[in-house]
Amino acid sequence: MVVETLAVAVWAMLPAYVPNNAAVLVGGGPPIDGGRTYGGRRLLGDGKTWRGTAGGIVAGVLLAVALDAVRPAVVAATGLDLPGFPLSAAVALAAGALLGDILASFLKRRAGRERGAAFPGFDQLDFVVVALLSTAVVAPAWVGRVFTLPVVVVVLVVTPVLHLSTNAGAYLLGLKEEPY
Ligand code: CTP
Ligand code: MG
């Protein structure tokens, strides 16, 4: 029961987890804000690029398609009731995760924090909250069925742990400039 809740939470959120990591790998090039400023500070900053955003969405959607393809085999092997991914949910999870990260950068810049500065709490949960809300808008029935209250609670607890550990790993591998 607990194992299944944890498995469903991580499985269903994987298409939202991967886009930010993929953006770190493929990011670069022209920033989304085109260098524009607002109130004397960058609108978003050089850390939010078109390439990173597009690459992140593609990575998240491809992962959802792959999970969907292996789902029958995984369900047969584990007996866990893991959900499939309608395309609308896949796109919303991936795009919503990046939108959350972009909105957090907007707020960070307004709060006077430079690119790369830590924003505890926001850094770890911005993308989950916006990914879930976006998906609830485009695929409400799917979200209602998959994200039961226990699953949502597990997502909110497990995501910061996963986020901090993957970022620390990316930092140690030299892929990211800060360990958070
Ligand atoms: N990235 C990107 N496009 C995005 C998100 C991330 O290109 N939409 C890439 C950038 O190269 C960025 C790196 O991934 O520097 C790390 O992402 P993140 O930690 O979110 O950005 P920061 O550089 O820390 O900037 P910010 O302070 O605005 O979060
Ligand atoms: Mg950062």
75-103: per-residue pLDDT in tens? Answer: 999 999 999 999 999 999 999 999 999 99
Q: How confident is the model over 5-50, as pLDDT tens digits?
A: 999 999 999 999 999 999 999 999 999 999 999 999 999 999 999 9
Task: Answer yes or no: is 57 within a domain.
Answer: yes
CA dihedral (169, 159, 70, 5) positive or negative: positive
Q: pLDDT for 135-156, tens place per residue?
A: 999 999 999 999 999 999 999 9
28 C-alpha to ligand 1 centroid (Å): 9
Which pLDDT belongs to residue 45?
Answer: 96
pLDDT of residue 120: 84
pLDDT at 60: 98
Amino acid 121: pLDDT: 80
pLDDT at 177: 87
Q: Is 31 helix (H, G, I), strand (E, B) or coil?
A: strand
Q: Is 155 exposed, middle or buried (0-12, 13-18, 19+ CB in 10 A)?
A: buried
CA 64/CA 16 separation, integer angstroms = 9
Q: Pick the residue with more confidence: 176 or 13?
A: 13
Is 177 a domain residue?
no
In a domain, residue 179? The reply is no
Cα 47 to averaged position of ligand 2 atoms, centre (Å): 8
CA distance 143 to 132: 8
**pLDDT higher than threshold 90 for residue 2:** no
* Residue 26 CA, closest ligand 1 atom number: 7
Q: Nearest residue CA, atom 14 of ligand 1?
A: 24
Neighbours of 88 (CB within 10 A): 13
If one counts the domains in the chain, the total is 1
**180 inside domain:** no
Residue 128 contacts residue 96 (beta carbons within 8 Å): no
In a domain, 66, yes or no: yes
CA angle 35-38-39, nearest 5°? 135
Q: Give residue 141's pLDDT.
A: 98
Q: Is residue 97 part of a domain?
A: yes
* Phi, psi angle pair for 124, to nearest 5°: -90, -25
Atom 10 (ligand 1): residue with closest C-alpha? 47
Q: Which residues pair with 37 in a beta bridge?
A: 42
Structure tokens at 118: 């830590």
Query: Taking all residues of the chain, what is their mean pLDDT, rounded to a whole number?
Result: 95
Name the residue of 42, 43, 48 to mutate for ligand 1: max ligand atoms within 8 A of Cβ. 48
What pLDDT is stored for residue 53 in this prediction? 98
Mean pLDDT of 53-63: 98
Q: Examine residue 49 and state whether it is found in any structural domain, yes or no.
A: yes
Parent domain of 22: 2-172
Task: Give, for ligand 1, the residue of 17, 21, 24 to mutate: max count of ligand atoms closer than 8 Å to Cβ.
Answer: 24
pLDDT band at 124 (very low <50, low <70, confident <90, very high): confident
> In the prediction, which pLDDT does 179 show?
86
Ligand 1 contact via 109 beta carbon (within 6 Å): no
Mutate which of 18, 44, 49, 167 for ligand 1? The one with the most ligand atoms within 8 Å of its CB, which is: 49
- For residue 3, count CB atoms less than 10 angstroms from its CB and return exposed for 0-12, middle for 13-18, buried for 19 or more: exposed
Using the mean position of ligand 1's atoms as its centre, give its distance from the Cα of residue 9 in Å: 25
121 domain residue, yes or no: yes
